[in-house]
Amino acid sequence: MKEVVPQIYRRLLRLLRWRLWIIEKLRPSPWQEMLAYAAVAGILGALAALLFRHGVEIIHYVMTGTGSGMVDSFRELEWWQRLAIPAVGGLMAGLVLLFGKRLHRGQSSTDYMEAILIGSGELPVRATLVKSTAAMFSIASGGSIGREGPMVQLAAVAASQFGRWRQLSAPQLRLLVACGAASGIASAYNAPIAGSFFVAEIILGTIAMESLGPLAVAAVAATLTVRTLSDAHTLYTVPAFTLHSLWEIGPFLVLGAMAGVVAPWFLRSLRQAEQLFAATSLPVPLRLALGGLVVGGLAVWVPEVCGNGYSVVLAILNGHLIWQTLVLVLVCKWVATAASFGSGAPGGVFTPTLFMGAAMGYLFGFGVNQVWPQGAADPGAFALVGMGALLAAASHAPVMAIIMLFEMTLSYDIIMPLMVCSVVAYYTARGIENQSLYSEALKKKAAEAPEPVTLPGSVADLTRSPTSSVTLTARFEDIARQFLSSRHESIYVTDAEGKYAGLISLHDIKPHLNDEAVATLVIAEDLRRDDVPSVAPAATLADALRLFAQQAGQTLPVVDPATGRLTGVLVKNDLLLALLEGRGAEKRGATRSPWQGS
């Protein structure tokens, strides 16, 4: 038996030496770990988006008997099929939502924006699957709605589940859900930069590198995954556009102002349609069927209203539609989008907004060309700029809109007028109404919250339970086992009454690892350090940040000053993320961020 004990100690010492070497040479920092998690979230988000896309294609084939694009499919159908299929699809979507409530009874309907801004980062799986299935029927049957909404939600749920499995803190989980949302946008539009800025500018309200870095990694990982597993390509293949004359800048500025005026009215029409459908007091299935019937009635004469408008936008950008037809399509598409959105069809209005901008821009450019050819030599260029301008005005995110239009078209020459037009549109829309495409939904979610949610204001709000602690009399063997079973580089020491007495760093035991006799002689009292500052639970985040600046560690012990007891640990990564969230909330203050409480 005398030889067994030394063998155990030798093994522990050998393992500790390997652990210390890995930490010193290979151990990633918390931010590097977050980047790795973001990459995984991006891959999972892309897979979820691809599954949703294939589900829509299968349902569309079953309902129409063809695998062609949405508009082409409806052109091939009889008039009564054009009328009936959107209504049937709306009815099926409503039935899924109605009976799906039994599946997720007692589970919240939190969406990704709510989880990031006013939630803990946890997203419901069953409720999301039900809503996404309903969205498949709405989109596949020709509803005038985009597929980006469900794709982003599914990607965010995948990221949330992964983060919960990894037991991330609330700030880290919220950031990971944001990474999932970025991967969903990148997967939908093959635009990784725009996907990153969509979340950073619209949801987080900050483009600080601590948040933008993980968002970019997730979006790139998602885009690479989609390109590997599908035939993804530049979304809108358009002819090369050039600025023919400096005189064209004047009409582009006017177009920006027009987009800034049209966007608030477009959003108001969607909200009014929602109120009209709600006033009918119809059950959800019948309400969605009515919305589908409106779309189907318009599709009998104008099949271009079906779907998100992608193929029609391509036709506009390439000059394949005459202006008389485009006027009719624009009016009918506006009504169809309002009907789909107002009836409650699950989906997004991001792509329909691009359609409205392209049609409006082309018509304006064509009109200018007829009166003053030098002012608009190519109406197609005005269509492309109109897409970005209306999106910037509707979303209140001009940087994202500019980047997205560039990524979707890869047309560099259009950047200068696009930038000017989008900025003018944004400020014009803000001057008319301080409501964006997403602010209304966030306000509703904040109002439905059971109690006001506020930002962490003290250390206690971010404190984690201490995962590793030993008493002053703990033997070296016990300390070694704690280090081998913990991910942290420090172990906290308490006395017999549970009062904080210091900590032991993994680097502090390095001198003893080559001396086997230490295992039987040294106790925690001999190794502990009492020069590491502690922080009180009631201390402000600014106070904690100052303490972190005084030492190089990644954690601080949280000690109750009244009792001297160790109550938890504050992780530097959590603190920095919480401070970034606070900065983003301040920037969104003009629209009353849900973080602000009552």
The residues near 357 (Cβ < 8 Å, ≥ 6 apart) are 259, 383, 386, 387, 388, 389, 390, 391
Residue length of the chain:
598
Of 229, 264, 284, the position where a domain reaches its end is 229
Residue 470 has pLDDT above 90, yes or no: no
Do 378 and 386 form a contact (C-beta atoms < 8 A)? no
Asked whether residue 15 is domain-assigned, the answer is no
For residue 323, the model assigns a pLDDT of 92
Q: Assess whether 50 and 83 both reside in one domain.
A: yes
What tokens does 118 get?
Answer: 């006013």
For residue 464, the model assigns a pLDDT of 81
77-112 confidence digits (pLDDT tens)? 999 999 999 999 999 999 999 998 877 665 555 577
Segment 537-541 mean pLDDT = 86
- Tell me, what DSSP letter sits at residue 550? T
Of 229, 263, 292, the position where a domain reaches its end is 229
For residue 525, the model assigns a pLDDT of 80
Q: What is the pTM of this model?
A: 0.81
16-49 confidence digits (pLDDT tens)? 667 666 655 556 667 788 999 999 999 999 999 9
Segment 216-232 mean pLDDT = 92
Q: Assess whether 441 and 483 both reside in one domain.
A: no
Asked whether residue 299 is domain-assigned, the answer is yes
Mean pLDDT estimate for the chain: 84
Q: Assess whether 175 and 194 both reside in one domain.
A: yes
Q: Assess whether 171 and 148 both reside in one domain.
A: yes
Closest C-alpha among 380, 374, 337, 375 to residue 361:
380
CA distances from 161 to 151, 176, 195, 304 (A): 16, 10, 20, 38
Q: Assess whether 161 and 194 both reside in one domain.
A: yes
For residue 19, the model assigns a pLDDT of 63
Asked whether residue 595 is domain-assigned, the answer is no
- Tell me, what DSSP letter sits at residue 559? E
For residue 56, the model assigns a pLDDT of 96
For residue 264, the model assigns a pLDDT of 95
572-586 confidence digits (pLDDT tens)? 878 877 777 665 555
Segment 358-384 mean pLDDT = 93
Asked whether residue 487 is domain-assigned, the answer is yes
CA distances from 239 to 249, 263, 319, 414 (A): 20, 27, 10, 11
Q: Assess whether 266 and 406 both reside in one domain.
A: yes
Q: Give CB contacts under 8 A, 24+ apart, made by 430-433.
A: 430/396, 431/260, 432/260, 432/261, 432/264, 433/264, 433/267, 433/268
Residue 495 has pLDDT above 70, yes or no: yes
Query: Residue 355 and residue 431: Cα distance in Å, rounded?
Result: 24
Give me the residue label for tokens 């920092």.
29
Of 397, 420, 448, the position where a domain reaches its end is 448
The residues near 86 (Cβ < 8 Å, ≥ 6 apart) are 141, 142, 143, 292, 293, 295, 296, 299, 306
Asked whether residue 465 is domain-assigned, the answer is yes
Q: Assess whether 35 and 136 both reside in one domain.
A: yes
278-333 confidence digits (pLDDT tens)? 999 999 999 999 999 999 999 999 999 999 888 899 899 888 889 999 999 999 99
For residue 108, the model assigns a pLDDT of 55
Closest C-alpha among 191, 408, 231 to residue 314:
408
For residue 515, the model assigns a pLDDT of 63
For residue 436, the model assigns a pLDDT of 83
Quick one: 149 exposed, middle or buried, by C-beta within 10 A (0-12, 13-18, 19+)? Answer: buried
What tokens does 499 get?
Answer: 């009062």
CATH of the domain at 469: 3.10.580.10
pLDDT band at residue 597 under the 50/70/90 scheme: very low
For residue 497, the model assigns a pLDDT of 78
pLDDT band at residue 4 under the 50/70/90 scheme: very low
Query: How far, in whole angstroms, is CA 242 from its chain's centroid?
Result: 34
Q: Which residue has the higher pLDDT, 526 or 135?
A: 135
Read off the amino acid at residue 443.
Answer: K
CATH of the domain at 210: 1.10.3080.10
Read off the amino acid at residue 195.
Answer: G
Do 409 and 238 form a contact (C-beta atoms < 8 A)? yes
Segment 452-464 mean pLDDT = 71
What tokens does 304 get?
Answer: 């271009």
Using the Cα atoms of residue 107, residue 111, residue 116 and residue 117 in order, give the sign of their dihedral: negative
Q: Assess whether 480 and 508 both reside in one domain.
A: yes
pLDDT band at residue 154 under the 50/70/90 scheme: very high
Residue 596 has pLDDT above 60, yes or no: no
| Poorest-pLDDT segment among 222-226, 234-238, 453-457, 476-480 | 453-457
Q: Assess whether 152 and 219 both reside in one domain.
A: yes
pLDDT band at residue 447 under the 50/70/90 scheme: low
Residues 570, 575, 578, 582, Cα dihedral to 10°: 130
Residue 338 has pLDDT above 90, yes or no: yes
Q: Assess whether 175 and 290 both reside in one domain.
A: no
For residue 598, the model assigns a pLDDT of 25
Q: Which residue has the higher pLDDT, 479 or 594?
A: 479
Share of the chain above pLDDT 70, in %: 82
Asked whether residue 2 is domain-assigned, the answer is no
Tally of structural domains, the chain: 3
Asked whether residue 200 is domain-assigned, the answer is yes
Domain range enclosing 50? 30-229
Q: Assess whether 324 and 411 both reside in one domain.
A: yes
Asked whether residue 593 is domain-assigned, the answer is no
Residue 590 has pLDDT above 50, yes or no: no
Q: Assess whether 532 and 565 both reside in one domain.
A: yes
